[in-house]
Amino acid sequence: ELMDKFYLINDNLVSNFYSKSDIFSKVLSLIDENLKQEFQNNFALVLHKNIPTFAGLGGASSNAACFIKLLNDIKPFDTKAIARLSGADVSFFESGLKSANVSGYGEIIDDFSDDLCDFSLEFSTPCSTKDVFSEFAKEPKYYENDELSKLKTKELLNNFTNYELNDLLKPCNALYSITLDYANKGLFLSGSGGSFFKLKS
């Protein structure tokens, strides 16, 4: 019955959506061979994805961080090193912090105390992170303001535009014209898209 609703990705991964590549395999390729074999011989994962793919919400990265922590329970290793090599956002999720300022390739994480925010969320269209960054690289323009890292989320969203707070919004618009509709409503792009958000009144 389970397999009627899920796809068999490989011998150790069953998921409710199909993907040609998965971040779990990438994590496994980075760990000690003995640990990899122990996992593959004795364990399997069932992944039930609840957010859209290519949503810019860190779904795959948070999954990878959880997997790294599960593997560490089997046999301890340097989780931070594996997280850093697994993907740009994995280190933040591995850190266990509720909020942080993240820089570099995502591996430089500074704990930051922020207020809990209530957001409304809208999904525009699936957006490829790789394609959006490639478009950005054609004409990279950064909105530079060192003071931004000192401000809390509510202060940022109430005092700056969506284009000032995400350098990937313009390249995302260039590739996916539908995202312009959301940007023009003043919504903020999450990551490289395609989710948009705003503070609830």
Task: Answer with the one of 80, 111, 142 that is the final residue of a domain.
Answer: 111
| CA dist., res. 96 & res. 65, Å (int) | 9
What is the number of alpha carbons within 13 Å of residue 197 lying toward its C-beta?
Answer: 19
Work out how many domains the chain is built from and give that number.
Answer: 2
Do residues 27 and 126 both lie within one domain?
A: no
Burial tier of 163 (Cβ tally within 10 Å: 0-12, 13-18, 19+): middle
Range of the domain at 128: 119-199
Residue 48: give its domain's CATH number: 3.30.230.10
Do residues 99 and 76 both lie within one domain?
A: yes
Whether the CB-CB separation of 126 and 165 falls below 8 Å is answered with: no
Task: Answer with the one of 85, 111, 137 that is the final residue of a domain.
Answer: 111
Q: What is the pLDDT of residues 94-118, one digit of tens each?
A: 999 999 999 888 889 999 999 999 9
Q: What is the pLDDT of residues 123-169, one digit of tens each?
A: 999 999 999 999 999 998 877 777 888 999 999 999 999 999 999 99
pTM of the model: 0.86
Whether the CB-CB separation of 129 and 54 falls below 8 Å is answered with: yes
Strand partners, 189: 196
Do residues 19 and 49 both lie within one domain?
A: yes
